[in-house]
Structure 1
């Protein structure tokens, strides 16, 4: 097939989705029965799908989610007290629109991180900015950023993201710098953006890991005051998977 001038024009205009659809349709006998408005509608639909897919891929790349978790793959059969109605509400994302927080609490291996990443994936689909990080790693990064002068820019970027996922809260006590950085992050985000944390520790025991009563009260007040809680319980889901693999 000779290259059609319309195809050249679509390329010049940056309409890659329409260009791809145009190439497919001119070689499709079924498309010959379509009238002009139907042709245009299909081209526009392909362009919209192409742009949405590219936007989602970009958001997921920036989100750096730990697991390739999607809402459709959530396991509701495993006994871990996962409230499906509550989780569906969390996936819908209205709490993010209202700048509320979320805590996913449960023992190791119960799937907290995976569920957090599924919520993050859905938020990316909804065209929200997301960033996943393990809290210990974030603290280390901020310590380095403070040393080389990048701390202001890093804190500014953390304040802007619509959903910040802090995984593995409470694995180790926080030192003075860590408490200060965490308080600043939550202060900047309180009432403006949403933060999701996962932890093995119930809220009542988190004072112990923050390691300072004044900072603990301030940090937890900004995190818990408007937070939803998804509390899980049960046996680790890793053991059955390991036994199956064996």
Structure 2
């Protein structure tokens, strides 16, 4: 049989999915009942699935999500005010293609970060790039970038990411420099990319928390108008080790 040298050649060509499927076919006594076209189709399907799995793993690694949350892990039974029909629609991923945003608000411990990471994970599965950042760390990092020359590169990376997750919005007062950095970020992303934001403050308080009315108007105009809002409430899920 030529299977062994063929498998080796497939590995050399970096077709590991086809190589593994061919080796499995050789161990199946029923495989001879399939036509050549059917067997070839199975090999191609295996290679396609292998490549998609590797690509998704790479996207998730680059996303640096804080929690390894998946849509299947989300507890829809916990009474926290989660809009289940809206969440189900968001899982379709259409909001990413439409360059819409998601705003997740609620008290600490109700699973805002978990939901944001689950949505970003789903976007990665659907072929989109994602990146998780915490606002209290993002703004100081951008400020340092002005000094070491990495500022423009950091803005470019944020601008090209399909789904940007910004956690802990409005956790601390913004500086004037921070407000202007946010305007740059959202101006680049408006109508071109999607953003997920989590905050302990409801959206109606964001304008005041930003601090400077003119910049607040500009930032929220680019962020809120094309957004889906998930307002959560209830007891902390961290109590008694409850799953999120």
Deviations 1:16-75 (A, max 9, x none): 110111122212323243321221111111101100100100000011111111111111
Q: By how many angstroms is 1:118 displaced?
A: 0.4
**Structure 2 unpaired stretches of 5+:** none
Q: TM-score, normalised by structure 2?
A: 0.94
Q: By how many angstroms is 1:3 displaced?
A: 6.4
Decide whether the 8 Å contact of 1:173 with 1:208 is kept in 2: no
* Alignment-derived partner of residue 108 in structure 1: 108
Q: By how many angstroms is 1:233 displaced?
A: 1.0
* Alignment-derived partner of residue 165 in structure 1: 165
* Alignment-derived partner of residue 236 in structure 2: 236
Question: Partners of 1:218 and 1:187 in 2: how far apart?
Answer: 9
Q: TM-score, normalised by structure 1?
A: 0.94
* Alignment-derived partner of residue 14 in structure 2: 14
Decide whether the 8 Å contact of 2:3 with 2:22 is kept in 1: no
Question: Partners of 1:237 and 1:54 in 2: how far apart?
Answer: 33
RMSD between aligned residues: 1.7
Q: By how many angstroms is 1:155 displaced?
A: 0.3
Decide whether the 8 Å contact of 2:3 with 2:26 is kept in 1: no
| 1:224 and 2:221 matched | no
Decide whether the 8 Å contact of 2:56 with 2:127 is kept in 1: yes
Q: By how many angstroms is 1:130 displaced?
A: 0.7
* Alignment-derived partner of residue 178 in structure 1: 178
Task: Please identify runs of 4+ aligned residues in structure 1 that moved more than 4 A.
Answer: none
Decide whether the 8 Å contact of 1:100 with 1:194 is kept in 2: yes
**Structure 1 unpaired stretches of 5+:** none
Greater Cα shift, 14-23 or 125-134: 14-23
* Alignment-derived partner of residue 74 in structure 1: 74
Q: How many equivalent pairs are there?
A: 243
Deviations 1:65-107 (A, max 9, x none): 1111111111111101111110011111111111111101111
Q: By how many angstroms is 1:226 displaced?
A: 1.1
Greater Cα shift, 224-233 or 8-17: 8-17
